[in-house]
Structure formats: C-alpha cells, structure tokens
Amino acid sequence: MASAPVEIPHRPAGVYPATNLMNVDGFFVVNMGRQHVQLTLRNVSGSDLDGVTIYLEGFSDPGVSFVPRRLDIGLLRADAELPLRFTANFTNAAPDASFVSFIVEADGYEMRRIVKKIFVTRVDYHKPSKTYTVKTPQGDMEIVVHRALMGPEQGSCREGEAFTVLIQDVSYTLRPKPSYEGTRGPLMYEDPWWKIALAILAGLVLLGAALYDYFSDGTLDGGSVSVGGTFEETGPSVCCTKISSSASKGEDDLVAKGLYSAAGGIATVAIASDDPDLHWRGQEATEPPAGELTVGEGVRLKIDYVESPSPGVPFAIEGEWAYTRETDVGSTYVHEDRDRRENVHVLDRYEVEAPSTHDRASGPLVVTAQFVKPGGDLCRGGELLVTGHLVSEHGPYRQFQLDDAGLDPDADPNDGVYTGAYWFSRDAGEKGDPGGAWYLFVIAQDVNTVKEGTDPFEAAHTVGGVVVTTQLQLGIDKPCELNHDAVITVV
Amino acid sequence: MGVQLVVRDGSPWWMSPDIWVVPGSDPTGPPGQPVVGQRAFVWTRVQNVGSTRVTDASVRCWWADPSTMITRASAHRIGTSAVALEPEETKEVLCLSPWTPTSANGGHQCLIAEAFSPADPLPPHLASTPFDPPGDRHVAQRNVTVQLVAPITMMAFLPFMAGGAGGAVQVLVRRMFLEELDRVILAQLGARELREADAEVRVSAGPFWPGEPVEPFDREGLKLRRGEPRTLALVAELGEGLADGTAVLVAAEQVDERERITGGVGLLVVGSEAREREQQEARDG
C-alpha cells in the first residue's frame, strides 16, 4: 500500500500565540516561549482524500516540549492546501536549525512520515554595552541600535512603554566560525540570517511586554530591559494610537501590538533584507586576496524614512550603509553605498466580507476575504497565512484562522476566497463573548515558499512572514491609524 | 479494555526486538550498530492491545551505561515522541532527537523505551525506581552490544554496572547461542548473516577497575550485597579466535533473592577481517 499522498511544501513557521502572527521568515524565537508550529498540508493525489489525520511526532531538539495531539481533518479535497498548527514550548530550545516530524494518515494508504527543517534563534541583551546578540550555531551576531524613532508621542499610549520602534541607525558585527577564504562563508542556517536578524530584533522589541522573559541578558533568568532606555531617542517620534481609538477598549491591545511589531520588522526587511541585500553586496564588493581569511564582518546602516513604513504599503525607504570585512592579516575592506528601496511585500488590494449583524443563535460568524496581488492575480491556497482578529467594544479579544482549502466553511480549494468562522459563545458572562460591536481585522502575511533543496544562496533571496494587509498606517510626527476591516454587531 | 500500550520484551526480556538504532544522519536508513561519536536515531515499535483508540500517547527513549539495574535517575533521556494508535494497531515511532554514543565504556550503551498516555499512564515511580520491563508492559529494554574483533583476538570484555537498589543479588554469566535470539534482533544489529562460532568459549565476570588490564576471572558468577553497586567486567575467552563472519554471544544476568532475573547485558563478539585490517592500518600509522 502506498503512503498517504500528501506533502508539507514549505518550512513550518513559528506563530506567536498572543498576536497570532507569524514571526519574520517563520523563525522560532526562544524568548517567545510557547509558539504555534504553523504548516500547510497539501493533497497531491489529484483526488479527494478521506479520513485524513495528522499529528506531530517529535522534534530533533529535546529542549522543545509539546503535548501529543492528533488533528482529525476528515476530507481533504484534491490539491487543497490546508493551514494547520500545533503548539510547542521553545523555552529550553537550542538556537539552531533543527527538525520536526509529522505523521499523516488517510483512508486506503499507509501512514506518511514527513520531516521538515525549522529555524530557532534567541536574542540576548547585554545591558552595560547595550548590545543585542542574536544567537546562531555558526556565530553570534552582535547588534547595537544607535538611534531609533520611538512611539508614541508623550501621553498617547500607556506610560513608560513604547508601542513602536523604528530603527534609524544600527550596526552589527559577525565573527564567522570558522573563518573563511573567498567572498562568502557558509550561509548561516542555510538561510539569509543577516537578512532577518535585524527584523527579528525590531519585531521582538515591540513585543517586549508580551514576551515571557523579554530579552534575557544571556541567562534567561527573567531580567528585563526597558525599551525606552535602550536607544538614543532623537528627532521626530512615531505617533501611535491605541486600538481603542479606532475600535474598542482592547484589554491588551494585542492586535495593535502585533501590527506595530510587524511594522518594525517590515522596515528593516525593506531596506536591509529584500533581494539583493546589502550584506550580500558588501561581500561581493570586497573579495579579499587569495589566502586571506575573513575573521569579522560588519555593517553600519542608517535608515532614512522618507515615507512612513506602514505594512502592506509600497513605501519608499532609503539607507546609507557601509560593509566592513576584516581578515586574519589585519586588512580591512570597506564597501559603502546608498540605496533607495520600496517595500515589495504588498497587495494591490484586498476585500473582506462579513455581515454587519450576526445572530449567534444562527451558527458561527463566517468571514471571507480575497487578496489581489500587484498585477491582478488572486492569492490562493497556502500563499498567505490569514488570521482573523475580533475585538469587542467591551474588551475581549478573539482569534480565528481563514483558509482557502475547501474545508467547511470554505467552499472550494484554491479559488482565492479565504474563509474562516468564529463561534460566539452563548454565554455572555465574564468569560463569554459579550454582545454589541465587534471590530474585525483580517491580517494576511506572505509565506516563505522556497522549495526544500533550493540552493541556499538562491533561497537567501526570499523572506516571508511579512504583513501585506494595510490596517496600520504609521505616522511620523502625525497620528497613526489602525483601521478595522468591518464592524459586526453581535446579538 | 481501554488503552493498553505495549513495547514488547525480548527473550531474554532485556533483548527487546521493539527497540533498534539507525546509525547515520538519515533516520529512515537501515538499522545497524551505533558508532561512537557519530549520531544515530532510536526507533520504538509500539502496540495498542486495548480496545480504545489513543491519539495522545508519548514514547520516551533513554540510553544508559551498560548495567543490570537502570533507573530514570541513572539513565539519560534522548527524546520524547508522540504516537496515535487505533485498537490493535502497531506503529514504528521515530525518536527524532539524535543520540550520539560517547566513548565512555567504549561506547557500549543500552536503550530503554517507554510508551504511555493519559488514559494508560505509567505505574507510580520515583526517579530512583528501576525500570521494570518484565513487570511493566509500557517499557522495554535493548541491552546488547556488538563488538567487532580481529579473528586472532583471544578475549573480549564488556564493563557493566550491577547491584544497586533492593536486596542482595547474584550476577551469573553464560554463553548464549544465536539461535536463541530473535532473528529480527540480528537484522537490527546489522548482523543478519552471522554464523555461530565453533570456538570453545569460556565466560566469566569479576570486578572491573578503569585503567587496569582485564584478565579472565575464575568464576562464572558472584554475589553482591544489598546496596552494593559495582562495576564488573563480562569476559569472553575466545579459544582459537573467531573466523570472519562468525560470532559468539555472551550474557550476564542479575538474579535477585527470589530468583527473578532483574537485569541483563549481552555482548555479541563478531570475528571480522575488516576489523583486523583497520587495526593493522592504525598500527602502521
């Protein structure tokens, strides 16, 4: 009997449960502790499969713990790409590339074991030197943020806590292990590590209050760092607004927190990461003579926000940067440049459909959304990770998933219509879902769709996990906007 | 009958056919003998002999230094996997956490696997409670080591721990024959084609002192007092040596005051001309 004809086409990604958003490029972050392992299961049989089940069998890193659980999917339509998730605790994980295995079964087939690579990192902070360290198995990347735009303006948000931080002037150094000859060393994690380290750091800073341990001082002992005291704050300020100004009295403002976090990452992705990235070009321009070993590399990057770097918007951004290479004979090679880039993680438009009034006695609230790429094609199937966020005017916050897999309530797989549902509880008590106005946000993130086995240097040109919808409009020296996609009156 | 998870014992019980190793970087490769310093993957075959489906079972794998008395405190956890089983279903479960045998005791280690679920938990135990494969269907043990030797080799030995918790015990040694073994085990050890050696073999055991040369002992068993864990050596004198492709299996078993076998270790000594060439090349530098 043949094995179940399914595949998991892309690298499983880390999703932070509090915000329900994917981490930049799907990396798992030790500092975040418990995270969802997000994957897409694809039916490649050419026909419908019945009795489909899947469970997570194990991790190669024994430091990752999880509670066994099987997902009973049932019918998986032909060619469907179904987003699924399991939850695991990465608190004791080692920062490294590691593996996770899944067991998939379907009626009439033998079980199939699918082993996928995942990436795990950790960010430490050394208070005296104000240096962040992004841990990798091939060497630590030390990052110093010299200057940042901070938000909110005085008094706009909760006291003492920055809602957004846009890095303006940053430097990082990398000591490759081992030293290498030629233009480039081994690619960390076989992935564009330097490309996403800044984005992960930028995103994490914004999630600070929600992290189990914030940054760890290298010991993961519970030490914390004040964002406001970390950077030099000069010049203009990012003026944020709480979700409550547009939607409700969000008790923890996690929608806003997630989007502001995403915005911090998107800016650095746009200027420093998207193909061809500056580290790559710096290496290209500073090839050392034969026999010299590169013992250190560094980049200083000064970002000019010529437009507000709002997620999903093709904003322009400029950067002045210098790449420096040090070799074992004491030589230093420098390449400087100035770039103007545009955010490429965008949609042409997107549309969300939801009823203006929902009677909870009639069944679940069903929401559909379509996302149009630049050029007019619809996003389909596993191209996007789409999450629904409902915020009550009375405070409670709920999450749900949308997919294009043809699994009820979605009508057909890969038709470009993403559908999700949320069952409002009938109990409107303290822990139930209150009636009244609920503000809906449908947030889409692109997915790193690089095929396994792709040449690492080719793979390095793709970054995923970036928000492509436009709910958050950042303002620099003017108010931000956080716009919901629909308001639903729940009765 | 609910959920009833089983990892089968072997014959003898400490030679389970439901635990095996895949050496190398590909966990789906062929089974074989682990190599010191190189990673390997442990597999466990788990059955649900109950009448109820289980979707949240866990399988823990451990390694331990060769010993006739292994506890959770003395063993090292390799990793934990999950498995879902229908009634009467059997699955092979991969421990994706790699295991790299170390050079302690020459790389000879034993493996333990236990399967359990919220509906079928392990019996109450402490960290100091010995694993009890014959008394607990959830757990099984594989405690056999393959040692390749040059055909001219006259003696092979395996250090192991004996005694420990509980009362006084006897350690008895014996030669086993390959036909006593489940052929599955030989296949899992990468030794399917082995033939029984004609050699006269004498088996003995006695105290082992690290750094001291090991000589054959004049006894085929010894007694250990209560609470007296000792490192012993299981010694096989190989007479005229072992021809290429032939093997001798020797074992030490620990017997308690009620004459129950509470643990065992096996040593499969295999004559190998390839091993002789390796040793010669090493001597030649």
Q: How far apart are CA A285 and CA A18, in angstroms?
A: 42
* Res B219: pLDDT: 79
Please give the mean pLDDT across all residues of chain A.
83
Residues 341-370 of A with CB under 8 A from B: none
- The 10s digit of each residue's pLDDT in A198-251 is 777 777 766 654 454 445 454 444 334 444 445 555 555 565 554 443 444 444
- Residue among A55, A60, A65 whose CB faces B96 most closely: A60
**ipTM reported for the complex, 2 dp:** 0.89
Mean pLDDT of B122-134: 91
Chain B positions in Cβ-Cβ contact with residue A69 (cut-off 8 Å): 55-56, 82
Nearest to A59 by CA among A22, A16, A18, A93: A93
* Res A249: pLDDT: 44
Half-sphere exposure of A444 (CA within 13 A, CB side): 33
* Res A274: pLDDT: 66
Closest chain B residue to A103, measured at CA: B83
Chain B positions in Cβ-Cβ contact with residue A58 (cut-off 8 Å): 79-82, 94-97
Chain A positions in Cβ-Cβ contact with residue B94 (cut-off 8 Å): 57-58, 101, 113
Please give the mean pLDDT across all residues of chain B.
89
- Residue among A61, A68, A115 whose CB faces B56 most closely: A68
Give the closest-approach CA distance of A67 to chain B in angstroms: 8
Q: Say what the pTM is.
A: 0.88
Nearest to A282 by CA among A236, A344, A335, A227: A335
Mean pLDDT of B32-52: 92
- Residue among B28, B96, B98 whose CB faces A57 most closely: B96
Confidence of residue A457 (pLDDT cuts 50, 70, 90): low
Chain B positions in Cβ-Cβ contact with residue A55 (cut-off 8 Å): 55, 82-84
* Res A244: pLDDT: 41
Confidence of residue A136 (pLDDT cuts 50, 70, 90): confident
Give the closest-approach CA distance of B53 to chain A in angstroms: 11
- Residue among A60, A69, A103 whose CB faces B97 most closely: A60
Mean pLDDT of B36-45: 92
Confidence of residue A156 (pLDDT cuts 50, 70, 90): very low
Residue carrying structure tokens 């350690």: B171
Confidence of residue A166 (pLDDT cuts 50, 70, 90): confident
Give the closest-approach CA distance of A240 to chain B in angstroms: 45
Are A70 and B98 in contact (CB < 8 Å)?
A: no
- The 10s digit of each residue's pLDDT in B186-229 is 888 888 888 999 888 999 999 998 888 888 888 778 888 877 78
Choice among A105-109, A129-133, A228-232, B54-58 with the minimum mean pLDDT: A228-232
Closest chain B residue to A115, measured at CA: B96
Q: Does residue A145 surpass a pLDDT of 90?
A: no
- Residue among A55, A60, A99 whose CB faces B82 most closely: A55
- The 10s digit of each residue's pLDDT in B237-282 is 998 889 999 999 999 999 988 888 888 999 999 998 888 888 788 8
Interchain CB contact of A57 with B (< 8 Å): yes
Are B93 and A57 in contact (CB < 8 Å)?
A: yes
Are B55 and A101 in contact (CB < 8 Å)?
A: no
* Res A224: pLDDT: 40
